[in-house]
Amino acid sequence: MKHVLAFCLLAISFRLSSAIKLPQNPDPQPLKWWQSDIIYQIYPRSHQDSDGDGVGDLKGIESRLDHFVELGIGSVWISPIYQSPMKDFGYDISNFTNIEPTFGTLDDFRSLSDAMKERGLKLIMDFVPNHSSDMHAWFNKSIHSEGKYKDYYVWKDPKGYDAEGNPIPPANWVNHFGGSSFEWNEIRQQFYLHQFVKEQPDLNYENPEVMKEMLAAMKFWLDAGVDGFRMDAVQTLFEDQRFLDEPVNPDRPANSIPSDHKYWKHIYTINQPKVIDALVEFRKLIDIYTLADGKERCMMTEAYLDTLEELLPYYGTKENPAAHFPFNFDLIVYANGSSGATTFANIIDEWYLKKPEGATVNWLVGNHDNFRIGSRYGEDAIDKMNMLIMLLPGSVVTYYGEEIGMVDNVISWEDTVDPWGCNAGPDRYSLFSRDPERCPMQWSAEDNAGFSTANKTWLPVHPNHKQLNVEAQKNTTGESHLKVYKRLSDLRKTEAWQFGGLEAKTTNDGEIYGYSRIFNNQGFLFLGSFSNQTVTVNATQEFEGIPSTATVYTTNVGFEPETAIGSSISTSSIVVGAKHSIIVAF
C-alpha cells in the first residue's frame, strides 16, 4: 500500500555499518523454477489489446510471448482475469472459474496456456480468496439466506439504531479504500462485511463450505494446467468474531483522517491467527498436484504487515508448509530515493538473518499498488535497482515495464478510475490512486505505444513512449535499460548466481552498497552508488576472493566514468560515478 513509509520506519532497527556473509552452497541441487526464473507480473488491462477496445486481453498477451523468451523470463504472473464487474479492476470476482469477457474466453485462456507451455513459460494465476464481487451468484443467494449460501459471507446485526432509526454498524472497522467496512442490506436486514470496496463482500472463512468452494476453484485452474498462484490480500481472510472496535493507530500518517484505513490499528481484522491455517490448506492442495506428476507448483502470498516477525510465519513449518514465499515488500515500504546504502543493506541483511532455515527469500520493488522504480527511487536508479534485486539469492519479481524503465504517468482527476483514488475525491485522489503505475505497456513509438489501436485507452499511455519503448531499446546500437535487464537475466543462469556465496556490505563510509556472488572462485561483484560524488572502491580490500582484475559485465545506462562493457579493470580501484552502478565478472 502506498505511503506507509512514515509510520513503518520504526520497525527496522538501524545499524551504522552493515555486512553479511553466506557461504556458497556446498551441495548444489538444481533450483526449482520459482526460485530461479524471473517472475514477471502482467497487469492484463495494460499489456496488449488485440481487439481495439482500449483494454488489454488474453489474445494480446499471447501475441507478446516472445518478449519473455527473448529476455529469458521464465514465468508470468497475471493479475486477475476472472469474470468481474471491474469495480476493483478484477480484484472483485463474480465467477472464480470463468474468464472475464473483456479479457476473452476460457478457450482464449487454454490457447494462451498452451502457447506458454510450448515456449517453456510457467503461468501463475492471481487468486483473490478474501472476497467475491457482490455480483457473484453466491452473494445474491446469501442475501436471500438460501440453503448453504446463508453464511457464505460475514453477516451481522446492527449494534443498535440511531435517533433517525438508521442501523448502526456492529463495529468501527474501516475498509482499505476508506469508510466503514460494513454495508447495510435492506433485504436481509443485516450488515455485511467488506474489507475492500462495498462491491467486494468478504467471504466467511469461519464456514468450512467456503474453504471447500475456494479449493474447488483452485482445483479448476490446476486441472487447466496453471503452475501456481499468487494469493491476494491473505492477511484479511479472518476477522475476530467478537467484532470489537479497533483502536486508533498511534503511528498513523500525519495527514490521515478517521475514514482512512491507516488511521486505525487493525488488531481485529488483519493477520488473525487462523490465516496461516488457511494457507496450509491451500498449500496442501497444491502439493497434491506436485506429488502426483512431479511438476513443481508454487504459491506466493501477498500481505502487507508491520514487521518481518509477523510475516515469517506465512512460510509455515517443515511439517505444515504454507507459502513457498510471502512477498517481501520491505524495499518498497522502507526505502525511497533519499535512502542511503545502509538502509538497503539493513533491509537485505535482516531477511537473510531471520528467514526460516531452508526458506527462499524474495525481492521485488514494484507492483500494481505502488509507484514504479523510476518514480520511487529516481530515474537514475532504474538499472541499479534492477541489478540490486535480480542478483541477490532468492526469487525475484519484475512488474511489467520495469525492464525498460517506464515511469508513473500523470493522471488527471477526470481520467482517474482506481476506486482508491475515486473514493478519496478530487483533492486527495493523487495520494491514493494506483492508476499512475498501471498505464499501458510501451511497446513502440507508434500511437498508443503499440498497445492498442483504440482512440482512447482505458488509462492514458505515457507521452514519453515516443522515446521510451521496447522496440527502441532493442534496436539502439547504444545501451538501454532492456539490454542491461537481459544481461541480469543471463547472469541468473550462471552457477555463481545459483549456488554462489554472498558477501554483502556497505563500503566507502556508507556511500556504496555492494555484494559479491562467488562459486568455486568464479563469480561477479555488484557495486551500487548512493553517493552524490564519484567514489573509488577498493574491492580487493573490501570483499573476499576478488581477483586483481575483472571484466566489466554491465553498467547502468550512461555510466560514468565512461567504461566499455567487456573491458578489463583493476578491482583495487573501481571508479563509480554519483548514483551509478556496475557489475564486474571474474
Ligand X SMILES: *[C@@H]1O[C@H](CO)[C@@H](O)[C@H](O)[C@H]1NC(C)=O
List the catalytic residue out of 302, 350, 511, 542.
Answer: 302
Taking the chain, what is the end-to-end CA distance rounded to the nearest angstrom? Answer: 40
437 included as an active-site residue: no
Q: Which listed range, 178-186, 236-244, 270-278, 496-504, lies at the site for Ca ion (CB under 5 A)?
A: 236-244
Residue 362 interacting with ligand X (CB under 6 A): no
For residue 72, which phi and psi values (nearest 5 degrees)? Answer: 70, 25
Q: Which listed range, 127-135, 214-222, 301-309, 544-552, lies at the site for Ca ion (CB under 5 A)?
A: 127-135
Separation between Cα atoms, residue 219 and residue 217, nearest integer Å = 5
Interface residue with ligand X, options 105, 336, 430, 494 (CB under 6 A) = 336
Site string for Ca ion, 197-226 (x = CB under 5 A): -----x------------------------
Residue 55 interacting with Ca ion (CB under 5 A): yes
Interface residue with ligand X, options 13, 29, 455, 567 (CB under 6 A) = 455
Burial profile 513-526: b = 16 or more Cβ within 10 angstroms, e = fewer: bbbbbbbeeebbbb
Residue 196 interacting with ligand X (CB under 6 A): yes
Residue 92 identity (one-letter amino acid): D
Give the number of C-alpha atoms closer than 13 A to the C-alpha of residue 214, restricted to the C-beta side: 26
Interface residue with ligand X, options 61, 171, 233, 390 (CB under 6 A) = 233
User: Nearest approach, Cβ of 288 to ligand X (angstroms)?
Assistant: 21
Interface residue with ligand X, options 5, 12, 215, 224 (CB under 6 A) = 5
Residue 42 interacting with Ca ion (CB under 5 A): no
Q: Which listed range, 262-270, 280-288, 408-416, 532-540, lies at the site for ligand X (CB under 6 A)?
A: 532-540
For residue 340, which phi and psi values (nearest 5 degrees)? Answer: -90, 175
Query: In sequence order, what DSSP letters do the residues of 265-291 get, joined into one string?
Result: --TTTSS-THHHHHHHHHHHHHHHHHH
* 8 Å CB contact between 381 and 336: no
User: Nearest approach, Cβ of 530 to ligand X (angstroms)?
Assistant: 9
Which residue, 51 or 560, is less far from Ca ion as judged by CB?
A: 51
3-state secondary structure (DSSP) of residue 443: coil
Give the number of C-alpha atoms closer than 13 A to the C-alpha of residue 54, restricted to the C-beta side: 8
Q: Which of 379, 407, 398, 390 is nearest to 465 (CA)?
A: 407
Partner from Ca ion, ligand X, none contacting 471, C-beta within 5 to 8 A by type: ligand X
Separation between Cα atoms, residue 129 and residue 466, nearest integer Å = 40
Partner from ligand X, Ca ion, none contacting 540, C-beta within 5 to 8 A by type: ligand X
User: Nearest approach, Cβ of 532 to ligand X (angstroms)?
Assistant: 4
User: Nearest approach, Cβ of 154 to Ca ion (angstroms)?
Assistant: 7
Residue 185 interacting with ligand X (CB under 6 A): no
Partner from ligand X, Ca ion, none contacting 202, C-beta within 5 to 8 A by type: Ca ion
Partner from ligand X, Ca ion, none contacting 63, C-beta within 5 to 8 A by type: none
Site string for ligand X, 78-117 (x = CB under 6 A): ----------x--x---x-xx-------------------
Residue 233 interacting with Ca ion (CB under 5 A): no
Give 455's contacts (C-beta < 8 A, 6+ positions apart): 54
Write the DSSP symbol of residue 204. -
Q: What angle do CA 388, 492, 110 make, to 5 degrees?
A: 110
For residue 65, which phi and psi values (nearest 5 degrees)? Answer: -65, -30
User: Nearest approach, Cβ of 400 to Ca ion (angstroms)?
Assistant: 16
H/E element holding 470?
helix 470-475
Interface residue with Ca ion, options 2, 6, 25, 53 (CB under 5 A) = 53
List the catalytic residue out of 202, 232, 260, 418.
Answer: 232
Residue 182 identity (one-letter amino acid): F
Separation between Cα atoms, residue 135 and residue 92, nearest integer Å = 9
* CA-based radius of gyration for the chain: 24
Residue 90 identity (one-letter amino acid): G
Residue 453 interacting with ligand X (CB under 6 A): no
Site string for ligand X, 272-311 (x = CB under 6 A): --------------------------------x-------
Q: Which listed range, 49-57, 403-411, 469-477, 565-573, lies at the site for Ca ion (CB under 5 A)?
A: 49-57
Partner from ligand X, Ca ion, none contacting 554, C-beta within 5 to 8 A by type: none
Residue 447 interacting with Ca ion (CB under 5 A): no
Separation between Cα atoms, residue 238 and residue 281, nearest integer Å = 14
Site string for ligand X, 129-148 (x = CB under 6 A): --------x--x---x-x--
Separation between Cα atoms, residue 18 and residue 342, nearest integer Å = 7
Query: In sequence order, what DSSP letters do the residues of 348-391 get, joined into one string?
Result: HHHHHHHSPTTPPPEE----TTS--HHHHT-GGGHHHHHHHHHS
232 included as an active-site residue: yes
Residue 108 interacting with Ca ion (CB under 5 A): no
Partner from Ca ion, ligand X, none contacting 542, C-beta within 5 to 8 A by type: none
Pairing of strands 395-399, 160-161: unpaired
User: Nearest approach, Cβ of 50 to Ca ion (angstroms)?
Assistant: 6
* Displacement of CA 180 from its chain's centroid (Å): 27
Sign of the CA dihedral 443, 448, 454, 458? positive
Q: What angle do CA 503, 494, 330 make, to 5 degrees?
A: 50
Interface residue with ligand X, options 29, 166, 338, 567 (CB under 6 A) = 338
Partner from ligand X, Ca ion, none contacting 372, C-beta within 5 to 8 A by type: none
* 8 Å CB contact between 434 and 369: yes
Interface residue with Ca ion, options 41, 44, 57, 93 (CB under 5 A) = 57
What is the contact surface with ligand X in residues (CB under 6 A)? Answer: 1, 5, 88, 91, 95, 97-98, 128, 137, 140, 144, 146, 176, 196, 232-233, 304, 336-339, 369, 455, 471-472, 475, 532, 538, 540-541, 572-573
What does the binding site for Ca ion look like in residue numbers (CB under 5 A)? Answer: 49, 51, 53, 55, 57, 130, 202, 236
Catalytic residues: 232, 302
